[in-house]
Homo-oligomer: A and B are copies of this chain.
């Protein structure tokens, strides 16, 4: 495919056959290996310590990388994370990091390696030569209705991670209306497939399946999410975001041999949030990559959208649901989304939820605060009102955030 010997129209016919008839695990492993072999495979064997990596299949308000990467580095793991920009409704981690003035998201291989050794954590843009065949095939899948297939998704995700060179790989697989996998069963099938590929190719691939029905945390929008990540790294983040970061971190730490079991690992990581070490690691990473750390020490200094406008509740009730896709839609119409690769995004706009699942809301109380520049206000307000499901009865049973791991 990369040599042009197999033509696009042949690849797309094969993709459709795979989408309809599936692939065996052997075939999926072969495809993954071919993706990996199509480009550079990074080698961290000269780095002291266990190199870990994480990947999320993407969700609304998902700023876990910003928390997890420094948190694991504070626990003496080496975190080498190559990340992407966002497309569609969710911003990518790289976009979010650019909300920190001066933060360099493109590093030379040598700078990456030095920072990984000295600071213990690097998050930067993935270069084009990691699994380039995957990128080429994804472009074809996108235009031939062949995106939605578990073995193809698994091969794509795992190949990029294997090419990135980490020994321990933790995948956060989202399930729900705001995720690519709509059901827990699909998410589980993807998780199983990814772990099986990892086993076949000699890498420790671990998976956590987490809910993406409502946004993760309260903030959706690039700068707003950085501020929320900072609070979480200081032990003051939203409960759901902290819980997910602790669980993903505990899986990685246990796998890497840094804790006896998940419980011990979570306890150690929680301490690192509370004692400021995780936050200081984030500051050290930002400093190493040229970022202005004053905005991390005082998030009030982060750039702000010109207007903050509340969306009052038209009625009283208990919050039974907050539709992640609707909240994402609100952030997108305000300018936080990227309809195509070329469009610049507004890093300051977005949504901060004032109410979360189970909360009681009085009539006229704000459901959310919109951070607005010059567009999308009406549509965003409508989307927020549609996102919230209120009931006159208290929410007695809340669906779990972490579905399985």
Contact = CB atoms under 8 A, between A and B. Distances in A.
Interface string A230-241: 000000000000
Residue among A10, A14, A20, A146 with the most chain B CB within 10 A?
A10
A8 interface: yes
Contact of A20 (B17, B143, B145): B17
A143 B19 CA distance: 19
Interface residues of A, number: 19
A338 to B, nearest CB: 23
Quickly give the copy total for this chain: 2
A26 to B, nearest CB: 20
Contacts of A140: 9
B20 A146 contact: no
Contacts of A8: 8-9
Contacts of A146: 13
Contact of A9 (B17, B19, B21, B144): B144
Interface in A4-46: 7-17, 19-21
A19 B14 CA distance: 11
B12 A10 contact: yes
Contacts of A17: 16, 19-20
Contacts of A9: 8-9, 11-12, 140, 143-144
10 contacts: A8-B8, A9-B9, A9-B143, A10-B143, A13-B15, A13-B146, A15-B16, A16-B20, A17-B19, A20-B21
